[in-house]
């Protein structure tokens, strides 16, 4: 995968991800996340992926994408992170367990915060955060994917 950029955009494959914070930039990033998800769903018709650390499937449901779209579209780096959806679902590892914090998370019994290290997106970021909601029946649903940015430098 090759990543290039200019002053206004990041280019990954045939995706053009705007860097700006204007309303049209946010909307464009939302559309890109939905497009990436649509392409992933074609290759994954069961809309799930086996996570090695959990030894369980993580299901990607409509709420997963709407929540990710709302959060990841706010930052071009998190939109970039969504490009690695499949890898993040497979290889993220639990870093902590939490209780639901909002009405949106109320359907979950617990929240798993997971991370995956990757060099795919260097120098922009090197970790992806995967938030997973665990239902009372132990079924695991993706809640959100975002980039974890470097703390010592910003690009």
3-state secondary structure the chain: CCEEECCCEEEECCEEEECCCCHHHHHHHHHHHHHHHHHHHHHCCCCEEEECCCCEEEECCHHHHHHHHHHHCCCHHHHHHHCCHHHHHHHCEEEEEECCCCHHHCCCCEEEEEEEECCCCCCCEEEEEEEEEECCCCCEEEEEEEEEECCCCCC
Q: Is the pLDDT of residue 133 over 60?
A: yes
Predicted model pTM: 0.90
Cα separation, 28 vs 67, in Å, equals: 16
How many domains, the chain? 1
Q: Is residue 155 part of a domain?
A: no
Q: Is residue 139 part of a domain?
A: yes
Q: What pLDDT was estimated at residue 154?
A: 43
Q: What pLDDT was estimated at residue 81?
A: 96
Residue 88's domain comprises 3-149
Q: Is residue 154 part of a domain?
A: no
For 35-85, write each residue's pLDDT tens digit: 999 999 999 999 999 999 999 999 999 989 999 999 999 999 999 999 999
Q: What pLDDT was estimated at residue 153?
A: 44
Confidence of residue 150 (pLDDT cuts 50, 70, 90): low
Q: Is the pLDDT of residue 1 over 90?
A: no
Q: What pLDDT was estimated at residue 101?
A: 86
Q: Is residue 90 part of a domain?
A: yes
């Amino acid at each position: 995968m090759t990543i290039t950029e200019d002053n206004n955009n990041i280019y990954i494959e045939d995706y053009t991800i705007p860097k700006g914070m204007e309303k049209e930039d946010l909307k464009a990033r939302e559309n890109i996340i939905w497009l990436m998800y649509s392409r992933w769903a074609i290759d994954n018709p069961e809309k799930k992926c086996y996570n090695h650390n959990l030894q369980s499937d993580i299901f990607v449901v409509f709420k997963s994408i709407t929540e990710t779209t709302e959060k990841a579209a706010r930052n071009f780096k998190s939109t970039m992170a969504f490009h690695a959806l499949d890898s993040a679902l497979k290889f993220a590892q639990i870093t902590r367990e939490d209780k639901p914090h909002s009405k949106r998370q109320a359907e979950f019994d617990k929240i798993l915060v997971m991370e995956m290290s990757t060099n795919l997106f260097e120098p922009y970021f090197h970790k992806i955060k995967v938030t997973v909601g665990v239902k009372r029946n132990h079924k695991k649903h993706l809640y959100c994917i975002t980039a974890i940015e470097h703390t010592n430098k910003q690009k």
